[in-house]
Amino acid sequence: MEAFARAIATEAAAIDAGFALLFFSQSLIEAGALSRALANHAPTLEYAGCSTAGEITPEGLEDGHVLAVLLPSPAFAAASVMVDNLSSSGMDRITGEVDALRRQLRARLGYDPAKDMFALCFIDGLSYAEEAVSSAIHWGLDGIPLIGGSAGDDLKFETTRLIANGRVTSDSAIIVLISTEIPFHVFKTDNFVPTEEKLVVTASDPDHRIVREFNATNAAEEYSAAVGILPRTLTPLSFASHPVVVKVGGEYYCRSIQKMHEDGSLSFFCAIDDGVVLSIAQPKDMVESTRAALRDVEERLGGIDMILGFDCVLRRLDARNRQVFRDISELYRVNNVIGFGTYGEQYRSMHLNQTFTGIAFGDRQAAE
């Protein structure tokens, strides 16, 4: 860990980096140790980040790594805030933090760079608060695009960690506001389409995102019947390969299942409530749908320099199950995607599942 922190300090000095994004596996390192090492070796470097459910490195999809993305000061200005105690925070407080962050960045730059700004959000993926927090941040941003991911813990579902400028917490969110003159584009992609098979939530525990019944029948039994799998054989791979989707504003969004309990109830990664109508989704080719999305981004920007990406851990499981993991990994590698595997993705005002969200950066010279 000391060697990693020293390497960050050396590289940050070489490129005049003022801010770093950090993504790490808790199976490799302890968040507090990383924070202390950075304090020792890079005391003036600001940073924000979180624990993961897998990493996207320069070599593609990996597990058990720690990585840093350094933002050079000549090209990026960044400011961050950590919002604690999400379980008891009011949404007005979060919107107020966003407003204060905008004022802080404006004061630092000496002008309002709103049209050249985007926001990142890292949030405890076990907080049950992502929808409300994403909505509150989006409201405070007033049109500035929001992108991000929910922190993971390598599919243990015990504790995730967020780190920022010497602090290590859970039940928190970090908002990073970034200004840059480099052209960028925020996007998302998934690989599922809805079918006519419907599941209506008829009994649930919304506070804990647990569904007890679909269509007035035990949730696991009804879901299993709909996808053609025996209830006793349900695993995370089953849920990754057969997600459900909900229609919001004319578009369908994944509402992925996290795990099955002994009583046949199902925990979800996203908010759920009685009366919600879900559709069983049919998969499309993950490789081709992702390639098409990246090709569209490349055309928009006139080329991709790098992509900061947030990739649902269930996409990773599904890619392994469908034996396209290496193809997806190579697609990320050749398109310079860096990021992490998430327990959920933030895209503008929405909290999503089983989606890849990202912000792509073009070449600054191409824009001049």
Q: Are residues 94 and 174 in the same domain?
A: yes
pLDDT score for 365: 57
Do strands 337-342 and 55-57 pair parallel, antiparallel, or not at all (unpaired)?
antiparallel
pLDDT score for 322: 92
pLDDT in tens, 220-246: 999 999 999 998 899 888 898 888 999
Distance from C-alpha of 170 to C-alpha of 203, rounded to nearest angstrom: 29
Distance from C-alpha of 360 to C-alpha of 144, rounded to nearest angstrom: 15
Q: Are residues 253 and 312 in the same domain?
A: no
283, 300, 317 - which closes a domain = 283
216, 248, 283 - which closes a domain = 283
pLDDT score for 226: 94
Q: Are residues 317 and 263 in the same domain?
A: no
pLDDT score for 214: 97
Q: Are residues 40 and 125 in the same domain?
A: yes
Q: Are residues 16 and 102 in the same domain?
A: yes
Q: Are residues 156 and 196 in the same domain?
A: no
pLDDT score for 1: 81
What sections of the chain are H helices per DSSP?
2-15, 31-41, 91-109, 130-141, 219-227, 236-241, 286-301, 313-321, 325-334, 364-367
Q: Are residues 19 and 103 in the same domain?
A: yes
Average confidence (pLDDT) over 13-39: 96
Q: Are residues 333 and 231 in the same domain?
A: no
Kindly tell me if the per-residue pLDDT of 368 is higher than 50.
no
pLDDT score for 345: 95
pLDDT in tens, 46-62: 999 999 999 999 999 99
Residue span of the structural domain in which 71 resides: 2-189+288-367
pLDDT in tens, 156-197: 999 999 999 999 999 999 999 999 999 999 999 999 999 999
pLDDT score for 364: 65
pLDDT averaged over every residue in the chain: 93
Q: Which has more pLDDT, 364 or 215?
A: 215
Q: Are residues 197 and 181 in the same domain?
A: no
- Residues 55/23, Cβ–Cβ less than 8 Å: yes
Kindly tell me if the per-residue pLDDT of 366 is higher than 50.
no
Q: Are residues 167 and 209 in the same domain?
A: no
Q: Are residues 230 and 312 in the same domain?
A: no
Number of domains in the chain: 2
Q: Are residues 145 and 241 in the same domain?
A: no
- Residues 42/35, Cβ–Cβ less than 8 Å: no
228, 254, 283 - which closes a domain = 283
